[in-house]
Amino acid sequence: MKLTIVGSGYVGLVAGTCFADSGNDVICVDVDASKIKALNGGKIPIYEPGLEEMVHKNVREKRLSFSTDLAAAVSQSEVVFIAVGTPEGETGDADLQHVLSAAEQIGKALKRYTVIVDKSTVPVGTADRVRETVSRVTDQPFDVVSNPEFLKEGAAIDDFLKPDRVVIGTSSDQARRIMGELYAPFVRTENPILFMDPRSAELTKYAANAMLATRISFMNDIAQLCERVGADVDAIRKGLGADKRIGYPFLFPGVGYGGSCFPKDVKALVATARDFGIEFDLLRAVERTNDQQKRLLLNKAARHYGDLSGKHFAVWGLAFKPRTDDMREAPSLVMIEGLLGKGATIAAHDPVATQVARRHFNDRVRYTETPYDALDKADGLFILTEWNEFRRPDFDRMKKLMKQPVVFDGRNIFDPFRMRERGFVYFGIGRP
Ligand SMILES: NC(=O)c1ccc[n+]([C@@H]2O[C@H](COP(=O)([O-])OP(=O)(O)OC[C@H]3O[C@@H](n4cnc5c(N)ncnc54)[C@H](O)[C@@H]3O)[C@@H](O)[C@H]2O)c1
């Protein structure tokens, strides 16, 4: 099939590449000319494991190309995906300006029946708004389908190629058949394609992210309680997860959820509910807990050291989670700004997010090549992202490098008892 993907970010680039890899002819379009230039020069503008090789392979085999010319791409395509950003608007709702601008440009470029797919995360009713926008500028036949994306950064290709489910919201038989054919290669192991109406598809995406965020905030509140009563949240996590009704995923407490999705999607769902006369108090509490959690280690450090001014800290992990360079809404942003604001200095290491971090902090932070370099003369270490390479360090070497052997483990990657045996002052989350 001939496809256009409008928006070549984390979702658009992965989706376009995976569709190309299953034999389709794909043009990825973006308004950002520098991004398209980089892609055409063989450079991948984001870090996502396995993506670079897959892009190169499909470009070489001439199934994947990149362009800023939306009209030319759309005019040759049977299916056009909108995968542009839907950032948080002023009142917490999703800002649809990029989606609707893309829809208008797509409408103007239509040359025949085309399926237009909302892949971006968009509020209930957006498929209708996209349909109205396109209708205003074309007489060509088209259908609008809602097909929210559930991939996780860091495992995006695997998630796209082997999705737990594909959600397709449409009331058109023709669009349903085309979308079913397009996704058939990815659902060969009984993982379902769930066809539904567009509004349900739109809401499914927000409900999924809001529920995952709720599990995280729930565990963070349990962790707080553990610290007060002298219980161990990790033991509780195991006790909870073993219950089949609950399960293990998303029960890890930490320094709060971040990323480009959970924070804005929880806010957008609260805003949608409010538009329809419902106060979603549960989700407001989820957000409140998360905001507090991002400052938790800062408060622990202030209690431990008293004055933070003049102290020097190491930070391991800048990305909002491992295996990505994405720092949107990362807990590290709040932590590092907090420490700098109190007069501390920082040396930070992240395996892939340093370049992105420079855009946030410039030279206010020193970035190091290795985790150990960051520890030199540090009064303490903050672990903010659970990269695998941080899990089994040389503890003796760490102690020798640090001025004070104090560890604030925001991801509970170390065992508190072993850390104290090794001579560290150790602070975890919700553990005695
Ligand atoms: N990142 C994720 O893990 C993830 C997962 C599932 C769903 N989503 C959703 O997918 C959508 C895209 O997210 P992302 O992380 O890929 O965003 P992103 O910011 O990485 O990429 C969006 C791209 O769209 C481009 N763009 C904006 N307006 C355009 C236009 N009119 N024409 C062409 N290109 C345009 C931007 O230049 C940018 O490159 C969002 O709605 C997000 O909520 C994201």
Per-residue confidence at 346, pLDDT binned at 50, 70, 90? very high
Per-residue confidence at 195, pLDDT binned at 50, 70, 90? very high
Residue identified by tokens 């995968």 is 83
Collapsing DSSP to helix, strand or coil, 395 comes out as helix
Contact 332, 318 (CB under 8 A): yes
- The gap from C-alpha 53 to its chain's centroid, in whole angstroms, comes to 21
In terms of Cα–Cα distance, which of 328, 317, 380 is closest to 351?
317
144 lines ligand 1 (CB under 6 A): no
pLDDT at 432: 83
CA of 87 to the centre of ligand 1 (A): 9
Nearest atom within ligand 1 for CA of residue 32: 37
Q: What span, in angstroms and rounded, lies between the C-alpha atoms of 222 and 371? A: 31
Collapsing DSSP to helix, strand or coil, 313 comes out as strand
pLDDT at 190: 85
**Sign of the Cα pseudo-torsion (340, 342, 345, 350, in order):** negative
State mean pLDDT over 346-373: 97
Mark whether 28 is an active-site residue: no
Average pLDDT, the chain: 97
- Residues of the chain above pLDDT 70, percent: 100
pLDDT per position as a tens digit, 374-399: 999 999 999 999 999 999 999 999 99
- Ramachandran angles phi, psi of 2, nearest 5°: -95, 125
- The pTM of the full predicted model, rounded to 2 decimals, is 0.96
Q: How far apart are the first and last CA of the chain?
A: 57
Per-residue confidence at 328, pLDDT binned at 50, 70, 90? very high
pLDDT per position as a tens digit, 54-79: 999 999 999 999 999 999 999 999 99
pLDDT per position as a tens digit, 118-132: 999 999 999 999 999
Top mutation candidate among 5, 11, 117 for ligand 1, by most atoms within 8 Å of CB: 11
State mean pLDDT over 319-333: 97
CA of 243 to the centre of ligand 1 (A): 37
Residue 338 corresponds to which tokens in the numbers above?
A: 């907090």
Q: In what order do the strands lie in the sheet with 25-29?
A: 64-67, 25-29, 2-6, 79-82, 114-118, 142-146, 166-169, 193-196
Tell me the one-letter amino acid at 357: A
Over 90: is that where the pLDDT of 429 sits? yes
- Show contacts of 357-364: CB within 8 Å, 24+ apart: 357/318, 357/327, 357/332, 360/327, 360/333, 361/336, 364/340
